[in-house]
Amino acid sequence: MKPNPSAAGVAVTVEHLERRHGDQYALQDFSITLEPGGVLALLGPSGCGKTTLLKLLAGLDRPSGGRILFGGRTMAGDGVMEPPQKRELGMVFQDYALWPHMSVLANVAFPLQMRGLSAPEVRRRAQESLERVGLGAMAGRSPAQLSGGQQQRVALARAIVARPRLLLFDEPLSNLDRDLRDSLCLDITRLLREVGATAVYVTHDHEEACTVADEVAVMAQGRLLQLATPATLWSAPASSTVAQFLKLGALLPARRVAAGVHLADGALLAHELLALVPGMAEDGADSDDAAHRPRQGQVLIPGHAVTPGALDGAALHATVTAQHYRSGGFATELRLPGGVSLHTLLRERLQADSTVGLHIAPRQLRWFDAAPARG
């Protein structure tokens, strides 16, 4: 999905942003650029810096270094610190943050009242905002009379009612069950395209990030590991760390030699197979000289890259450790050389503890060179 060409959103630029707490970095040398109307998902484990970045964008925290610009105007950094009310933001939190003593309509209307709009205009726009999220008929109810999903829709209506240039989402669906999350995730995606605001969406859910966002930023330990479209992220992870976090398949320690790639237990993937693997031919690795130099790294084997079959002629052998029926197939766990597990979905039932041959689609594999040793 591309940013809305008629977007009312703002371009967001983050340059070498840092946030330190004493000697510890919550965010380190973080840089991104987001086009007007673009939707960026921040994806990573707890403590990776996602919420820290969101607070810095919102003006709820001050950076230790670097700067933030909205539409070319500095919001934070270079001695500037614009407060949240001057950043034209809308925010949606995981705990809804609704006022229980106010009606649904009054909750949504509050940002407009704070701007001093006339009462008729406030009521009209608040009602329109509720209609957009499918809650027009519930304007007179209290938040306590609504379900969790409905309360989050109210929070969403309140976030868009003032027509912000930037919307910030802090894990808005984490308190909801899976079916409701899927439904509301699609509704948020549609609404973001309609309103045209730029958005930054924090989540730890891979599918949620890829549904909502034009681009996904994978983070770890306060750093940006990869920024890419969802399709690129899944097909071409930038590192073994990204692949491991996204659970893209089995990562096998390996050593490249002239004959192919030796895995940890001595199994050999033949050179003819590995010549097709992305990453293997980079930097002259397949030249006559380089092909004979040992090369340490890892091979990523996605679940969809293997087909279990006969042992003869198979690239690898694996043991079936578990299987259960799911979504029209059998979710299967295979134990690969070195004891690494690979999860895949198969159409047939396999006998537990049996050994099967794995026939591999080489273009689906990926090679990652080992990180150079630090001197």
The two structure tokens encoding residue 83: 């407060």
Q: How far is CA 329 from the centre of its chain?
A: 26
The answer to whether the CB of 46 falls within 8 A of the CB of 202 is no
Q: Is the pLDDT of residue 373 over 90?
A: no
At 327-351, the pLDDT tens digits run 789 999 999 988 899 999 999 999 9
Helix (H) or strand (E) holding 254: strand 250-257
375 vs 362: CA distance, rounded Å: 35
Predicted local confidence at residue 166, as pLDDT: 97
Average pLDDT over residues 240-247: 93
Contact of 350 with 276, CB cutoff 8 Å: no
pLDDT at residue number 88: 92
Helix/strand/coil for 343: strand
What is the token pair recorded at 72?
A: 């070319």
The whole-angstrom separation of Cα 193 and Cα 125 is 19
Strand order in the sheet with 329-335: 306-309, 355-360, 316-326, 329-335, 341-346
- Model confidence at 280, pLDDT cuts 50, 70, 90, reads low
CB of 206 within 8 A of CB of 43?
yes
| Percent of residues, the chain, with pLDDT higher than 70 | 89
Q: Give 79's contacts (C-beta < 8 A, 6+ positions apart).
A: none
* Cβ neighbours for 278, distance < 8 A, ≥ 6 positions apart: 236, 363, 365, 366, 367
Tokens representing 176? 């909801």
Contact indicator for 111, 161 with CB cutoff of 8 Å: yes
Q: Please give the torsion angle defined by the CA atoms of residues 304, 299, 242 and 210, in that order, rounded to the nearest 10 degrees.
A: -20
85, 59, 13, 211 alpha-carbon torsion, rounded to 10°: -90
Give the integer Cα–Cα distance in Å for 290 and 281: 10
Q: Superfamily for 12-242?
A: P-loop containing nucleotide triphosphate hydrolases (3.40.50.300)
Which pLDDT belongs to residue 105? Answer: 96
Q: What is the average per-residue pLDDT within 167-180? A: 91
Contact 212, 200 (CB under 8 A): no
Q: What residues pair up with 307 in beta bridges, in sequence order?
A: 359
Confidence of residue 3 (pLDDT cuts 50, 70, 90): very low
pLDDT per residue as tens digits for the range 129-167: 999 999 999 999 999 999 999 999 999 999 999 999 999
Domain with CATH 3.40.50.300 in the chain: 12-242
What tens digit of pLDDT does each residue of 58-76 get? 999 999 999 999 999 999 9
What is d(CA 178, CA 171) in angstroms, rounded to the nearest whole number? 14
Q: Which of 281, 338, 280, 329 is nearest to 304 (CA)?
A: 329
Task: Identify the band that residue 360 occupies on the pLDDT scale cut at 50, 70 and 90.
Answer: confident
pLDDT, position 284 = 42
Q: How many CA atoms lie within 13 A of 365 on its CB side?
A: 22
What band does 109 get if pLDDT is binned at 50, 70 and 90?
Answer: very high
Sign of CA dihedral 56, 62, 63, 65: positive
Q: Are 49 and 222 in contact (CB under 8 A)?
A: yes
Mean pLDDT over each residue of the chain, to the nearest integer: 88
Can you give the pTM of this predicted structure? 0.87
Q: State mean pLDDT over 312-322.
A: 90
Burial code of 135-150, b = ≥16 C-beta within 10 A, e = fewer?
Answer: beebbeebbeebeebb
